[in-house]
Amino acid sequence: MSTLQPQARRATIDDLSKLAPLWRAEGLASHDLEKRFKEFQVIEGADGDVLGAVGLQISSQEGRLHSETFAHPEDSDALRQHLWERVQMVANNHGIIRLWTQLESPFWHHVGFTAASGDLMVRLPGVFAGDHRPWSFYQLRSETTPAVLIDREFAVFREAEKERTEKMFRQARVLKMIAVTLAVVVLSFVIIWAFFFVRLQRQRRRR
């Protein structure tokens, strides 16, 4: 592992070039996952490399863990622990009641995922398309918790505001870069104009 304290965060578009090779190495559909990069939580090392990632698909108050991948398989469980802590925080912020998964690593069973019974399977959202493997679930909270919807709406609003602020900062950086570039170009033209103007004045004096 490249760092003793890896940082877990939401994936950004800048992570795509690092995630794609990991997805392909895992035999995952990289082309499809690239369109859904915002679902992914990533572990970033000290050097900025993506050490691991897992997808968190959300449908109403249900979530699905999918498409996990790691740069160094020998460190996978340690990295899963960091991702699991991050996933729980995100899930709670969105008011998610249950997490579903078809991931087969023993780690997920150790943290509390259990096999989903037939009665519970009727609650599995149809958008969570899966294969023939069995489903496991993790109950985050009671379905009768009265504050769930309020908490979820507030969390979604807070996340949207955070994204809007980050977008404004990115746009400000781009505008600053454009302004600096234009200033350099204008300054270059002024210097060139001054050079030729002085040269022309000297030529006139010699005449």
| Predicted local distance difference test score (pLDDT) of residue 2 | 45
Cα 139 from Cα 34, distance rounded (Å)? 29
Helix (H) or strand (E) holding 84: helix 76-93
Which of 149, 157, 69, 65 has its CA nearest to residue 102? 65
pTM exceeds 0.75, yes or no? no
Blockwise average pLDDT, block size 10, the chain, 207 residues: 70 95 94 95 91 96 96 94 96 94 96 93 89 92 65 70 80 86 87 82 71
Cα 91 from Cα 41, distance rounded (Å)? 12
Residue 176: partners with Cβ closer than 8 Å, 6 or more residues away: none
Interstrand relation of 50-59 and 7-10 (parallel, antiparallel or unpaired): unpaired
Cα 46 from Cα 75, distance rounded (Å)? 15
